[in-house]
A and B are shown apart, each in its own frame.
Chain A
Amino acid sequence: MREILKHTPGKIFIGVLFVSLAGMLFITRYFTSKILVFGWMTLPLFAGFVFVAVWLIAYLIYFFKFWPYK
Chain B
Amino acid sequence: MTIILLIVFGLAILAMAAYGYKISAKTAEDYMLAGRTIGVVVMFFFVLFAVSSSWTFYGYPGFLYMHGPSYIYFIWGSVAGFAALYMFLGPRLWAIARLNRFLSPVEVLAERYESPFLRVVLSLMLLVFIVPYVGIQPLGVGLGFKALTGLPILVGAAYTVAILVILVILGGMRIVAWVNIFLGAVYASALLGSLIWAVNRFIPGGLTGAAEFLMANNPEMLSAPGPQGYFTPVIIGGTLVVGLMAFSWPHIVIGVMTARDKLLFKWFPILIFIFGGLFFYTLPFIWGSLVAPVIMPGVTGKEAADSIIQTIITKQLPNWFSVYVLMGVIAAAVSTAAVQLLTSSVIIARDLIQGLIKPDAEDSQIIKWARWSVVGIVIISLVVSLRYTQAMALYLTEVTIPGFAQWGPALVGGILWKRATKQGAIVGTLAGLVYLVAGLFYRPLFVGMHPVMPTIIINMILFIVVSFLTQRPSEEVQSKFFDEVEEFLEAG
Interface, chain A (partner B; CB < 8 A): 1-4, 17, 21, 24-25, 28-29, 31-34, 36, 38-40, 42-45, 47-49, 51-53, 55-56, 59-60, 63-64, 67-70
Query: For residue B76, which residues in chain A have a CB less than 8 angstroms away from its CB?
Result: 24, 47-48, 51-52
Contact A25 B240 (CB under 8 A): yes
Known contacts being A52-B79, A63-B266, is A42 close to B289, with CB within 8 Å? yes
Nearest chain A CB to B31 CB, angstrom units? 29
Among residues of B, the one whose C-beta sits closest to the C-beta of A25 is: B237
Contact A40 B290 (CB under 8 A): yes
DSSP majority for the B interface?
helix
DSSP majority for the A interface?
helix
The 17 listed contacts between A and B (C-beta, < 8 Å) are: A4-B88, A28-B236, A28-B237, A36-B211, A36-B222, A38-B208, A43-B69, A44-B236, A51-B76, A55-B83, A56-B270, A59-B87, A63-B266, A69-B91, A69-B262, A69-B265, A70-B266
With the chains together, A60 CA to B91 CA distance in Å? 17
Query: For residue A53, which residues in chain B have a CB less than 8 angstroms away from its CB?
Result: 278
Among residues of B, the one whose C-beta sits closest to the C-beta of A21 is: B80
Interface residue B70 (Cβ < 8 Å from any Cβ of A) = yes
Q: Which of B208, B223, B231, B265 interacts with A39 by CB under 8 Å?
A: B208
Contact A32 B208 (CB under 8 A): no
Query: Digit string of B207-233 for contact with A (CB within 8 Å is 1, else 0)?
Result: 110111001000100111100000101
Query: For residue B273, which residues in chain A have a CB less than 8 angstroms away from its CB?
Result: 52, 55-56, 59
Contact B208 A40 (CB under 8 A): yes
With the chains together, A69 CA to B261 CA distance in Å? 11
Contact A34 B219 (CB under 8 A): yes
Q: What number of B residues sit within 8 Å (CB to CB) of A?
A: 49
Q: Which of A1, A4, A31, A56 interacts with B70 by CB under 8 Å?
A: A31
Interface residue B490 (Cβ < 8 Å from any Cβ of A) = yes
Contact B70 A44 (CB under 8 A): yes
With the chains together, A42 CA to B70 CA distance in Å? 9
With the chains together, A44 CA to B482 CA distance in Å? 40
Interface, chain B (partner A; CB < 8 A): 69-70, 72-73, 75-76, 79-80, 83, 87-89, 91-92, 206-208, 210-212, 215, 219, 222-225, 231, 233, 236-237, 240, 262, 265-266, 269-270, 273-274, 277-278, 282, 285, 289-290, 416, 482, 486, 489-490
Query: For residue B89, which residues in chain A have a CB less than 8 angstroms away from its CB?
Result: 1
Contact A33 B270 (CB under 8 A): no
Nearest chain B CB to A42 CB, angstrom units? 4
With the chains together, A24 CA to B73 CA distance in Å? 9
Q: Which of B91, B240, B265, B277 interacts with A24 by CB under 8 Å?
A: B240
Contact A49 B224 (CB under 8 A): no
Among residues of A, the one whose C-beta sits closest to the C-beta of B489 is: A69
Among residues of B, the one whose C-beta sits closest to the C-beta of A29 is: B233
Nearest chain A CB to B48 CB, angstrom units? 15
Among residues of A, the one whose C-beta sits closest to the C-beta of B233 is: A28
Nearest chain A CB to B412 CB, angstrom units? 9
Nearest chain A CB to B67 CB, angstrom units? 11
Query: For residue A60, which residues in chain B have a CB less than 8 angstroms away from its CB?
Result: 270
Contact B211 A45 (CB under 8 A): no
Contact A31 B489 (CB under 8 A): no
Known contacts being A25-B240, A32-B223, is A67 close to B266, with CB within 8 Å? yes
Query: For residue A28, which residues in chain B have a CB less than 8 angstroms away from its CB?
Result: 70, 73, 224, 233, 236-237
With the chains together, A39 CA to B228 CA distance in Å? 24
Contact A55 B80 (CB under 8 A): yes
Nearest chain A CB to B280 CB, angstrom units? 12
Nearest chain B CB to A68 CB, angstrom units? 7
With the chains together, A28 CA to B69 CA distance in Å? 12
With the chains together, A68 CA to B210 CA distance in Å? 48
With the chains together, A45 CA to B285 CA distance in Å? 9
